[in-house]
Every structure is written in structure tokens, then in C-alpha cells.
Amino acid sequence: MTQDQDPRDPLADPAPPDISGPPDPPAPDGGDPSGDPGEGEGHAVAVEDDRGAQGDAGVEGLPPFSPDLFFREMRLDAWLRWSVAGAVIVAVGFLIVSGLADTFAGMVLAMLLILGWVAVSSISAGVFRALPGLTAMIGQDPSAAESALAQQIRRRPLMRWVRLMLYHRLASIRHRQQRFAESAAICQAVLTQPLGPASAQRGRLLLMLTEARLQCRDLYGAYRSLCELHHQRLGLVESLQRLAIQTRYEVLAGHDRAALSNTRQKLLMAELMPPVHCGAMHAMLTTAAARTGQDELADWLWRRSLLLCGAQQLDRLVKGAFAVGFVGPPESGNLPNG
């Protein structure tokens, strides 16, 4: 969008969405790599270097996330499942070779094998049925959700994608607790695994990972996950979340002109967001406009952000570097059916 274009002009030429190149290296003190955000006659919103509060340790029985433990659990689940499957195959082969398949003892043994296989499969089925309840608890009582998750995560053997969805819930809890470094580590570990029936959750995991990396000021990591997000098929809600997170990345990295590109379309999409998120979008664009010397546009955006959020709420958003929690736990309606 050029400097003399009015974002309200319906004839403004829309530009395709663009992610700027990798950000400049962070400052030695971990501050904003873009340098001085500029005053902009009182309109620029200073982006604070807030790495996110690290909460206390998790409830008893659910230790901080360890990638080594995560991959060990995945290997143990696979070994147990294959061991059970191998035992069933060996037992069936023994019944056929020994001629016991037609005897009463053979039928009893076959029934025991079937019951054992059903019992092993029922563990994953029970955990899967508990996922919607865990999701609802995350939004209402994260501590209770963590306690319930601790009970489910210790069960084994679990199917690969079921355990991955449990760790997805753990990442959501850590995100809500503002333990962003741990949330990013969980998302990154989960995304290295084949998601199988839960592959529809990949976009949500990437959104959470990107926002957590921004909170930790890992701009290189946020850029990589944003690039991957642009190769995912997202629904409307996820697309709005991606727009907000990408705008925040561009403002934090100092790519102000990229943040202001296609402003009219971005504002139209922002109007589909809740008022707080929409106000945060306007405040971020205010910062970019003021830094680039577009004072008239910055003044108009600032007035709209005040109208949407109010002065006190907007002040809290600015101090939190626009962290308004765009990413939430997965909705039960988006769970896989398997």
C-alpha cells in the first residue's frame, strides 16, 4: 500500500500476502532487532521485549517437558504394540502348526488372544474419549486439566497419534500458563512425528509454535514456522490467527512496510476477529505506520484501536507486546474420528 492511499478506499489495489525475509539478528541484549521504534508524534506503540512469564513447575506428577522422555515414550509405545502383535501372530501360528486350533483348549486360547488385543486397543480408545473433556477443562481450569492429563499421559501402550494429541493438550496448557519456551518445545517435538489421523491439527500446532517463539523473541524460529504455515490449508479462524501472528512478527522484526502491505484487506479481515484481537491488529499497524512516517494513517488506526479496546485494555496489550492469546486449545469438533 502506498503512502497516499486511504485504507478505506474500495479501489485500493490489493497486494498478495507476503512474508518478509529472515529478520535481522537479535540485539546482544535480546532486545528488539528493529532498534528504536520511533515516536510518531505519540502514535507509535513501543513493542516491549517481554519473553513471557515462566510459570511455576507443573502440578505434582507432571514434570517439565523433556524431549528425551517424549521420544522414549513414543518408542516404548511402539515396542509394546509390536510385542503384543508379535505375540498374537506367534500364538496363532502355534495353534495352526500344533493342530490345537480345532480343540477346546485352542478355542480358549484364541479367545484369550482376542480379549488381550481388545484390552490393549481399549486403552487408546479410552484416552481418545477423554480428549474433548480435557479440551474443555483447559479453558476453564488449567490446573485441573493438567492433573487429568497427567493421569492419561501415563497410560500405555497408546497409539502414536493419541499420545501426540495428549502432548498437544499439554502444549495448550503451557501456553495458557505463559510458559512459552516449554510450549514451543512440545509443539516442535510433536511436529517431528507423523500425526496420522490427527494431521488436521498440524495448523494449530504451527500457530501455537509461532506465537510461543515470538513470545521468546525467537524471530528466526517464528519465521520458519510462518513459512510452513503458508503451506497449510487453514480454516477461517486459523487464517485470522495466522494474519495476526504474522503482523506481530513483522512489527517485532522491524519489517514495517511488509506489515502495512495490503492494509485495506488486512483491516477487513481483522473486523472478523473479536474486538480485543481486532484492536490489537490496529495497534500493531499503528506502530508500523508511525515508524514509516505515515502519521495520518497512524492517527486513524490509533483512534480505531482505542475505540475497539479502550485505553486501559490497549495499554495492557502494548505492555504484553500484543500477546492477546490468538491461539487456543483445539476444539472438540476438530478431533479426528479415528
The model's pLDDT over 59-105, given as tens digits with 9 standing for 90+, comes to 454 788 999 999 999 999 888 888 877 777 777 777 777 776 667 76
Q: Say whether 211 sits in a helix, a strand or coil.
A: helix
Whether the predicted pLDDT of 329 surpasses 50 = no
Residue 227 banded pLDDT, cuts 50, 70, 90 = very high
Residue 182 banded pLDDT, cuts 50, 70, 90 = very high
Measured CA to CA, the distance from residue 235 to residue 200 in angstroms comes to: 10
Half-sphere exposure for 55 (CA within 13 Å, toward CB): 17
Whether the predicted pLDDT of 184 surpasses 90 = yes
Residue 143 banded pLDDT, cuts 50, 70, 90 = confident
pTM over 0.75: no
First to last CA, the chain: 46
Whether the predicted pLDDT of 190 surpasses 80 = yes
Return the pLDDT at 116: 75
Where in the chain are the domains? Answer: 65-184
> Average per-residue pLDDT in the chain?
76
Query: Tell me: the pLDDT tens digits for 259-268?
Result: 999 999 999 9
Share of residues in the chain with pLDDT > 70 (%) = 73
Please give the C-alpha separations between residue 116 and each of 84, 109, 119, 131, 264, in angstroms, as whole numbers: 9, 10, 5, 24, 61
